[in-house]
Amino acid sequence: MNKRIVLFLALFLVIGLAGVTAQKITLTCVMMAGDIPEETQAFLDQFSKENPDIKIDFTNVAQDLEAYLQPKAASGEMPDFISVNGGSFGADLVDRGILIDLKGTFAAKNTVDAVKPQFTSPKGKLFGIAGGVSTSLIYYQVQAFKDLGLTPPENWEDFLVLCEKIKKAGKTAILITPGDGTMSNTLWSHGFANNVVAKYPDYVKRFREGTMPLDTLEFADVYAKGKLLFDKGYTQPGAVSTTYMEGNQMYIQGQSVQHFAGSWLAGSLLKTDFETGVYMPPWNAKGKTKIPIVATETGWGVSEGPHKKQAIMLLDWINGKGFHFYQNARGNIPHVKDPMGPVMLDDRIKTYLDKLYSYKQTAGLWFEYIPAETMMLTFQLYQEVLTAQKTPREAAAAFDKAARAAVKK
């Protein structure tokens, strides 16, 4: 009788434990998906469908990802799975043990090596997997170009001539978005690439060491170029306060002949009612070789915590079997070696990429190399220059001071 009771209790315990372990795990997931929130929810739902014991609690952070995550890191409440940008913020978190080293995961093995350095900390830890290869380019209305007899320019001087012709035709030549930090992806990064990287190819190392000279005419010209476009009336009315989402909508509505934006928007900007083409931003001087941007998109990281195993499962899925769900929604440039599914990449982007990859010298996007403390300054100084609060040289000097102070700290 006693044996039966013990057996029954043991069986009861086993079933109970099984029940406990079979309970759903809720994975907290913070992702930067301001432009594709529904699609992001849809592919996370697909993951949950394929992994019924994992429920995803998804929070969409449209902007200011680092500002959202910093207090969570400070209070020990990091989400299990996060979006993370290449650069110093993520590097700092992995070196503190808040994010895990992703070397050895399937996601890391299936990612091309070219997009790993930006997500590698000074201590050699891989804190994130890139969300794609990114670049910024100029989207343009093909018919408008044909009507005005224009062809994509190859240098800055020809670009100004083109803008003047568009302006004379009574149209907005180019959309810029200084209202928030996204202009740093376009005017700032291309200006920096063509003016500064050309002279200092070891710019990443110099930024880390605090020896990057920025109080220079070359760097001041990064701001001067934008100021010139603005002062000459080539940009849209109300440009200074135009934000990223607003700018994208304005182009889709046909309010401008050209839009300077990222490749991660190809999914939406190439599906306009009018035919859209793309070309490489000609921020190089006549006679000089262009230095285009080849960078990483916002990627993903996993926090140290009780659910890191499940978070790694999600990471491996997004960068493996589930990759095409994400990529098809975005229409962005894949970073994986084997997409394991159909990739939707517009022929215009494919052609653009063939040309892009032929360039020997390229540069990253701003957030991949500037100190985290100076990130907001890139567009704040731009706004000050556009509204004549500072000259381009004063803006360069201010940024130089801030970048050196950040490294000293």
Partner 1 sequence: MGLAGLSQVQRRQLVCFLFTLPALAIVFVFFLFPMLRALLFSFTNWDGIARTYRWIGLKNFQTVVSDSSFKQIVFNTLYLTIIYVPVLNVVALLLAVGVYNAGKAGNVYKAMLFFPNLLSMTVIGLIWNIIYRYNGLFNQFLKIVGLKVLVQDWLGQVNTVLPAMSVTIIWFAVGYYLLIYLAGLNTVPVEIYESAEVEGVSGWQKLVRITIPLIAPSITINAVLSTIGIVTLFDLPFVLTRGGPGFKSQTIAMHVYAYAFQQLRTSYALALAVILGAFAILITALQLRFLRRREEVIL
What does the binding site for partner 1 look like in residue numbers (CB under 8 A)?
A: 64, 66-68, 70-71, 73-74, 89, 92, 96, 98, 178-180, 236-242, 246, 250, 372-376, 380-381, 383-384, 386-390, 398, 409
For the bound state, the minimum distance from the C-beta of residue 145 to partner 1, rounded and expressed in Å, comes to 24
- Cα–Cα distances in Å, from 305 out to 48, 78, 98, 130, 302? 20, 9, 9, 21, 9
For the bound state, the minimum distance from the C-beta of residue 272 to partner 1, rounded and expressed in Å, comes to 18
For the bound state, the minimum distance from the C-beta of residue 82 to partner 1, rounded and expressed in Å, comes to 15
Q: Distance (Å, rounded) from C-alpha 40 to C-alpha 7?
A: 48
Q: Distance (Å, rounded) from C-alpha 227 to C-alpha 385?
A: 7
Residues 40-47: contacts with CB within 8 Å, 24+ apart? Answer: 40/326, 40/329, 42/325, 42/329, 43/318, 43/322, 43/325, 43/326, 43/329, 46/322, 46/325, 47/314, 47/317, 47/318, 47/322
Residue among 222 and 312 whose Cβ is closer to partner 1:
222
For the bound state, the minimum distance from the C-beta of residue 246 to partner 1, rounded and expressed in Å, comes to 7
For the bound state, the minimum distance from the C-beta of residue 406 to partner 1, rounded and expressed in Å, comes to 8
Residue among 54 and 395 whose Cβ is closer to partner 1:
395
Residue among 135 and 258 whose Cβ is closer to partner 1:
258
Residue among 248 and 327 whose Cβ is closer to partner 1:
248
For the bound state, the minimum distance from the C-beta of residue 400 to partner 1, rounded and expressed in Å, comes to 12
Q: Distance (Å, rounded) from C-alpha 302 to C-alpha 21?
A: 22
Task: Write the secondary structure of 270-335 as one string of H (helix), E (strand) and C (coil).
Answer: CCCCCCEEEECCCCCCCCCCCCCECEECCEEEEECCCCHHHHHHHHHHHCCCCHHHHHHHHCCECC
Residue among 166 and 375 whose Cβ is closer to partner 1:
375
Residue among 19 and 71 whose Cβ is closer to partner 1:
71
- Residue in 45, 79, 47 with CA at minimum distance from that of residue 65: 79
For the bound state, the minimum distance from the C-beta of residue 386 to partner 1, rounded and expressed in Å, comes to 7
Residue among 85 and 327 whose Cβ is closer to partner 1:
85
